[in-house]
Amino acid sequence: MDFDKFEDKLQLVRRSIKEALDGSPERLYDASLHLTSAGGKRIRPLLCLLSCEAVGGSIDDALKTAVAIELIHTFTLIHDDIMDKDELRRNVPSVHVVYGEPTAILAGDLLFSKAFEISRKETIKILAKAAAEICEGQEMDMSFEEAGDVTEKEYLEMIRKKTAVLLQAATESGAILGGGSDQSDHSSQVKKLSDYGLNIGMAFQIHDDVLDLLADEKKLGKPVGSDIVEGKRSLVVINALENLVGAEKEKVQRILCKEDNSPEEIALVVRLFEESGAITYCRDKAEHFINLAKSALDDLEESEAKNDLMDIAEYIIDRKE
Amino acid sequence: MDFDKFEDKLQLVRRSIKEALDGSPERLYDASLHLTSAGGKRIRPLLCLLSCEAVGGSIDDALKTAVAIELIHTFTLIHDDIMDKDELRRNVPSVHVVYGEPTAILAGDLLFSKAFEISRKETIKILAKAAAEICEGQEMDMSFEEAGDVTEKEYLEMIRKKTAVLLQAATESGAILGGGSDQSDHSSQVKKLSDYGLNIGMAFQIHDDVLDLLADEKKLGKPVGSDIVEGKRSLVVINALENLVGAEKEKVQRILCKEDNSPEEIALVVRLFEESGAITYCRDKAEHFINLAKSALDDLEESEAKNDLMDIAEYIIDRKE
């Protein structure tokens, strides 16, 4: 998918982020801008702006909240990298590697504060609720690394909170700010766009888990197989452990439990995941959520923004990075 | 000062905190409640409620925001303890000591999210701005530990951000929610209560710095002299280094720069601080801010809440913990 067509919108977003993060002490603001300067697709603010347009609103109505959502996203990346001890993100050293943990914690906190400083009042409660659920999801994710027996249902609830709610907040907020039809009605525009965001969010995380195993390291911007090294319970792992038996299952479990895995061990696990059918299963599951997302938009009036949202849904499960 | 008279208000606050922090995963919510269960004076929510009453409002109007402010305060304590490697707080092990750093970071983030979830809409921007300034102040505080030459002016700006703005947010929010007279007017009730909060906040931090040197360890709930060990640039340190000369100045500088100080070294530094007049200077400075705070309330109509705010101003610089 060609994101160049969104360049006008993305430029507005980038400019607004810089305006929101212009302060002192310089070192703290530099740290808070570190990941933003390193790129990122800014898919969340884009979804917010497109959802606003899809219900007939102007992007001016949604810009501040769109930026606030990107700040919240960046805040979670910075704190997650500290918690997970991930040293690389978007092909650059993580914030805590460059600025140290104390300033990285603060940079995250600052981004979070700024998000609520700039967000439109109408969408603050949506953002705050999403942020709380992200924390719950991250705690679940960490606890899964210790728990041996995570079910698919538990995993889906975890990624709903950790990943999907923020994409849902983006599309729901955009629809509200664009003047979408009443929120309480289940067939309302706001509800439809909220469902769209939730479902692409679910697909996004499942696809991310697959990418972590199969992507090109340069494109991914971080080491391939890092989830295996960290022992993360992704849907691939859960499904593979359901399907594998005997010596192969034991091999996978042993490698997932230890921390310093060789490239050969990682390659072996990836091969066993593929042979078990787990990767195909996850690709199908991601596609299922994308289909739900797309059908949520069925009744929406035709528009360029609606088409873009349809394309983005496809992109979510096609992307290589 | 006897806080028992506020027991009804404090009970409401405690109950509301528990209601706000009732969720799962249990471990994350336990971590976010850890410091709250260990006590604390809850002076910020109290100030918010009293400011609301002092302008004729009912505490129901301000309760949610009062609780939100306490959650923000607790969030900063948890993250500060990680950054400063402080292992004791309110006489119990810090959150990161009990739950580990990852969950402690998240528990702080969760409290922050919940604060914005529950805050009254009218006061969200005030809280968000205060939170951003707290981050700036904490970064300044950390950078001072490395900088040799911090001026009194820089220090005062640091504590304004790190400490005073949240007390100011508490009193200002309370006044707004209580229906205090127009915010834009400089002689308005909202402005007066905002000034009161700012000035008691300045005094609060200066008194805290003195307490860190002179308090009873049990009452303080953390080791005495920890600021010396951490090399923090408090107003006592800044003023003492201005007044001391020769061998005594060098001794103090040497001890502040190293990390493992003996009890004798800490006692020596405290004695030199006293002899230099720095502690008297700080006590006078704190009193100066308290006088400003009290005179800000001069024009406010007499009420029990106003009297309580006057008493709390006195308490700020009399307290032993």
The residue that leads in pLDDT, A41 or A221, is A41
Residues of B in contact with A123 (CB under 8 A): none
Confidence (pLDDT) at B293:
98
Model confidence at A201: pLDDT above 70 = yes
Model confidence pLDDT, tens digit, residues B57-91: 999 999 999 999 999 999 999 999 999 898 988 88
* A13-71 pLDDT tens trace: 999 999 999 999 999 999 999 998 888 889 999 999 999 999 999 999 999 999 999 99
pLDDT, one tens digit per residue, over B255-270 is 988 878 888 998 899 9
- Residues A19-31: b if buried by 16+ CB within 10 A, e if exposed: ebbeeebebbbbb
Nearest-CA residue of chain A relative to B138? Answer: A106
B193-230 pLDDT per residue, tens: 999 999 999 999 999 999 988 877 777 666 778 888 88
State residue B306's pLDDT score: 98
Residue A184 pLDDT exceeds 80: no
Average pLDDT over residues B300-316: 97
Q: Does B5 touch chain A (CB under 8 A)?
A: no
Structure tokens at A239: 């499904």
**Which pLDDT score, from 0 to 100, does residue B183 have?**
58
Residue A87: how many other CB atoms lie within 10 Å = 13
Judged by CB atoms closer than 8 Å, whether chains meet at B28 and A82 is answered as no
The 8-class DSSP code of residue A88 comes to E
- Which chain B residues touch A136 with a CB distance below 8 Å? 23-25, 28, 110
Place of tokens 């041996």: A148
Q: Choose from B22, B24, B106 for mutation: most chain A CBs within 10 A.
A: B106
B113 contacts A132 by C-beta, under 8 angstroms: yes
Residue bearing the bigger pLDDT, B183 or A114: A114
Write down the mean pLDDT value for chain A.
93
Query: Hey, are the CB atoms on B131 and A143 less than 8 Å from each other?
Result: no
* Secondary structure element (H or E) that encloses residue A89, with its range: strand A88-89
Distance CA B48, CA A272 (A): 60
3-state secondary structure chain B: CCHHHHHHHHHHHHHHHHHHCCCCCHHHHHHHHHHHHCCCCCHHHHHHHHHHHHCCCCHHHHHHHHHHHHHHHHHHHHHHHHHHCCCEECCEECHHHHHCHHHHHHHHHHHHHHHHHHCCHHHHHHHHHHHHHHHHHHHHHHHHHHCCCCCHHHHHHHHHHHHHHHHHHHHHHHHHHCCCCCCCCCCCHHHHHHHHHHHHHHHHHHHHHHHHHHCCHHHHCCCCCHHHHHCCCCHHHHHHHHHCCHHHHHHHHHHHHCCCCCHHHHHHHHHHHHHCCHHHHHHHHHHHHHHHHHHHCCCCCCCHHHHHHHHHHHHHHHCCC
CA distances for B269 relative to B228, B235, B241, B264, B284, angstroms: 8, 14, 11, 9, 20
Q: Tell me the β-bridge partners of B280.
A: none
pLDDT higher than 90, residue A274: yes
Q: What is the pTM of this model?
A: 0.94
Q: Specify the pLDDT at position B184.
A: 65
Nearest to B113 among A110, A128, A139 (CB): A128
Can you give the CATH number for the domain in which B269 is found? 1.10.600.10
Amino acid identity, residue B321? E
- Judged against a pLDDT cut of 90, whether residue B285 lies above it is answered with yes
Does residue A230 sit at the B interface (CB-CB below 8 Å)? no
Question: Which of A45-54, A224-233, B232-241, B274-283 shows the lowest mean pLDDT across its residues?
Answer: A224-233
Q: Do A132 and B114 touch (CB under 8 A)?
A: yes
CB of B23 less than 8 A from some CB of A:
yes
Structure-token match 């009452």, residue found: B219
Closest CB from B102, B128, B142 relative to A113:
B128
Using a CB-CB distance cutoff of 8 angstroms, which residues of chain A are in contact with residue B126?
A: none
Tally of CB atoms within 10 A around A11: 10
Residue B26 has what pLDDT? 97
Are residues A28 and B106, on separate chains, in Cβ contact within 8 Å?
A: no
Average pLDDT, integer, range B102-111: 98
Instruction: Please tell me which of the candidates B83, B103, B143 has its beta carbon nearest to residue A105.
Output: B83
Rounded Cα distance, A25 and B301, in Å: 40
Specify the DSSP element, H or E, that contains A149: none
Residue A306: the pLDDT is 98
Between B231 and B185, whose confidence is greater? B231
Token pair of B120, please? 């009254």
Average pLDDT score, chain B: 93
Looking at the structure of chain A, the number of domains it has is 1
DSSP conformation class of A160: I
| pLDDT band, residue B8 (cuts 50/70/90) | very high
State residue B104's pLDDT score. Answer: 98
* Mean pLDDT value across residues A272-290: 96
Element containing residue A164 per DSSP (H, E): none
Q: Is the pLDDT of residue B148 over 80?
A: no
- pLDDT the model gives residue B185: 67
Confidence (pLDDT) at A227: 82
Residue A140: its chain B contacts at CB < 8 A?
25
For A90-106, give the DSSP string: TTEE-HHHHH-HHHHHH
Q: What is the mean predicted confidence (pLDDT) over A187-213?
A: 95
State the nearest Cα–Cα gap between B143 and chain A, in angstroms: 9
Tokens 């969760």 correspond to: B110
pLDDT for residue A320: 82
* Inter-chain residue contact B25 with A143, CB threshold 8 Å: yes
The angle that helices A43-54 and A7-20 make with each other, rounded to 10 degrees, is 120
CB A178 within 8 A of CB A57: yes
Domain that holds residue A98: 3-318
Q: How confident is the model at residue A232 (pLDDT cuts 50, 70, 90)?
A: confident
Write down the pLDDT at residue B1.
81
DSSP code of residue A122: G
The A residues from 118 to 177 touching B (CB cutoff 8 Å) are 121, 124-125, 127-129, 131-132, 134-136, 138-140, 142-143
Mutate to test the interface with B, among A26, A81, A112 (most CBs of B within 10 A): A112
B116–A113 CB contact, under 8 Å: no
The pLDDT score that the predictor gives to residue A36 is 87
Contact (CB, 8 A) for B205 and B159: yes
